Amino acid sequence: MISDEEYASDLVASIDVDRYATLVQSVGNQLNGRKDRFDKSDIIERCLEVYTDGRLEWVDDEGRDFVDTKYGCDVEFKYESDMLFTNVRKDERDPNPRLHNSLGTNEKDELPNPAEFYLLGQQDAIGVVSYGVFADDSKRSRLVQEGDAFIGDLYTEDIAFLFTPEDVDDVDTVDVNYKERKMEMQMELIQSI
């Protein structure tokens, strides 16, 4: 199996980093509402399929968002604004992403059907950890069960970064009103029937 550092180095060569940062920052906070979060998740995940020229094939299965077509491995993507670096000073942070939420159906003490790799994204950075990090006694990161969820209690030193805020050029955001476009599409559909 490829190491996290090798995987990060290889995958970043396939990602259009500036397009990713521009899209995420252009969408911004407009999709943080209760009913909009799934659209935001889909947009950010699907942009990775496009911005890797299909290398990350979006499958949207439980516990995995992509199949890496180069290595045939499953990849789950977790996004949170400023998850890896603080917004202003860009200091590193130790993230705690929710890797799995069974919505009350979890009866096991281990993460069901884990992906090989977990991409951790924010608006201007992406890091990666393999599932193996959680079982490696030489690493501080652990998988923690909280109720019906599994949380990645991660430490920055265990994360291999594809790119950091320093690697992103100045972003010129694009004026995008996704909610308005979505409402127009819904009305077109409704009126067409």
What one-letter code names the amino acid at 73? Answer: C
Q: Which of 160, 129, 159, 122 is nearest to 44 (CA)?
A: 122
Q: Write down the residue that tokens 């130790």 correspond to.
A: 94
Q: Which of 108, 125, 113, 117 is nearest to 166 (CA)?
A: 125
Residue 146, pLDDT score: 85
Going by the DSSP 8-state scheme, the letter that residue 15 receives in this structure is: S
What one-letter code names the amino acid at 104? Answer: G
Whole-model pTM?
0.92
Q: Write down the residue that tokens 């890896």 correspond to.
A: 84
Residue 106, pLDDT score: 56
Q: What are the structural domains, with CATH classification, of the chain?
A: 4-191 (3.40.210)
pLDDT by position in tens, the chain (length 193): 799 999 999 999 999 999 999 999 999 888 888 888 899 999 999 999 999 999 999 999 988 999 999 999 999 999 999 999 998 888 999 999 999 876 665 566 777 789 999 999 999 999 999 999 998 999 999 999 888 789 999 999 999 999 999 999 889 999 989 999 999 999 999 999 9
Give the integer Cα–Cα distance in Å for 99 and 82.
17
Residue 168, pLDDT score: 94
Give the integer Cα–Cα distance in Å for 93 and 88.
12
